[in-house]
């Protein structure tokens, strides 16, 4: 039986006939009782096939998706990649519960941790590639993000928050808290304002576009794909001691830019005890 037809039959759970509920097909009932092996995954790990997309199209759709029901950045970027594949190719991409990505809004439930757009891009990559290959793609995207003046995307008359030009800046960080706060401080914009939302909507489009460019390059290069973005100077300098095996101070975990949190300013070095 065709998979989609069987899913439809099983999902309907039978038909109402003469006031009675018809029994579900026996094949569906049998499948429901089959044991589920621990850690199994339909199709196998990282089994989805990636498709090349048009970066500009994905960026536009990601911006639109950012505003959809207020689901924001994570939903926007993920839909701009996997949702577009769903629109073009159907299953399995169309079977993903896209609204799940709302949890990334505000850096995961407003905690200001990883930028939701970046977290969603990494999630999309991991549908196709295992850790070793995915990490190279994520590193390329994240290094680009923390060193590029964003946002760049301008929806023009299609803007849903604030029309016109939006100022851009370099965040130096992949953290939502730092990225948003630095932009708001530099431009005297309230974090809860419509203008800030517009900034994040446009940034979502930028991240999605770059993620698609990386995905396309990965599809072309295969296992030989390598990123072009250089390691931040602070990571190389600090890592020479804090990430070297055998060193007494080898306790630095992570490869994100060090300076936003460890640049020596009093408010940072004294644990904010004297912060105004």
In angstroms, the CA 237 to CA 130 distance is: 29
Phi–psi pair at 20, nearest 5 degrees: -110, 150
Q: Is residue 59 part of a domain?
A: yes
Q: Is residue 32 part of a domain?
A: no
Tell me: cis bond preceding 151? Omega within 30 of 0 counts.
yes
pLDDT of residue 89: 98
Phi–psi pair at 244, nearest 5 degrees: -115, 125
Q: Which residues of 118-156 are buried (b: 16+ CB within 10 A; e: fewer)?
A: bbbbbbbbbbbbeeebbbbbbebbbbbbbebebbebebe
Q: Is residue 98 part of a domain?
A: yes
For 165-174, write each residue's pLDDT tens digit.
999 999 999 9
pLDDT of residue 265: 64
Say what percent of the chain tops pLDDT 90: 67
Q: Is residue 190 part of a domain?
A: yes
What is the count of structural domains for the chain? 1
Q: Is 224 exposed, middle or buried (0-12, 13-18, 19+ CB in 10 A)?
A: exposed
pLDDT of residue 195: 97
Residues of the chain with pLDDT under 70: 1-33, 263-276
pLDDT of residue 1: 43
pLDDT of residue 21: 45
In angstroms, the CA 230 to CA 143 distance is: 8
pLDDT of residue 235: 78
Nearest to 150 by CA among 80, 75, 200, 91: 200
Domain extent at residue 123: 55-224
Q: Is residue 76 part of a domain?
A: yes
Phi–psi pair at 35, nearest 5 degrees: -70, 145
Q: Is residue 257 part of a domain?
A: no
For 185-243, write each residue's pLDDT tens digit.
999 999 999 999 999 999 999 999 999 999 999 999 999 999 898 888 877 878 888 88
Phi–psi pair at 141, nearest 5 degrees: -65, -45
Q: Is residue 39 part of a domain?
A: no
Q: Is residue 120 part of a domain?
A: yes
């Amino acid at each position: 039986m065709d998979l989609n037809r069987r899913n439809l039959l099983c999902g309907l759970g039978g038909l109402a006939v003469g006031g009675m509920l018809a029994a579900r097909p026996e094949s569906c009932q049998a499948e429901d009782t089959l044991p589920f092996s621990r850690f199994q995954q339909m199709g196998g790990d990282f089994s989805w096939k990636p498709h090349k997309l048009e970066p500009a199209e994905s960026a536009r759709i990601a911006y639109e998706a950012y505003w959809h029901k207020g689901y924001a950045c994570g939903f926007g970027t993920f839909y701009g990649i996997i949702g577009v594949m769903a629109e073009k190719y159907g299953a399995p991409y169309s079977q993903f519960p896209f609204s799940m990505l709302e949890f990334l809004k505000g850096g995961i439930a407003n905690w200001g941790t990883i930028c939701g757009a970046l977290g969603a891009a990494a999630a999309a990559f991991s549908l196709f590639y295992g850790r070793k290959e995915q990490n190279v793609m994520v590193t390329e995207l994240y290094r680009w993000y923390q060193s590029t003046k964003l946002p760049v995307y301008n929806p023009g008359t299609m803007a849903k928050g604030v029309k016109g030009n939006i100022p851009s800046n370099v965040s130096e960080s992949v953290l939502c808290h730092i990225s948003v706060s630095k932009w708001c401080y530099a431009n005297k914009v309230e974090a809860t304002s419509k203008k800030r939302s517009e900034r994040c909507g446009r940034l979502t489009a930028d991240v999605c576009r770059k993620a698609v460019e990386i995905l396309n390059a990965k599809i072309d290069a295969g296992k030989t794909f390598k990123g072009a973005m250089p390691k931040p100077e602070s990571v190389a300098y600090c890592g020479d001691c804090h990430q070297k095996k055998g060193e007494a101070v080898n306790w630095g975990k992570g490869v994100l830019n060090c300076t936003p949190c460890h640049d020596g300013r009093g408010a940072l070095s004294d644990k904010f005890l004297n912060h105004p």
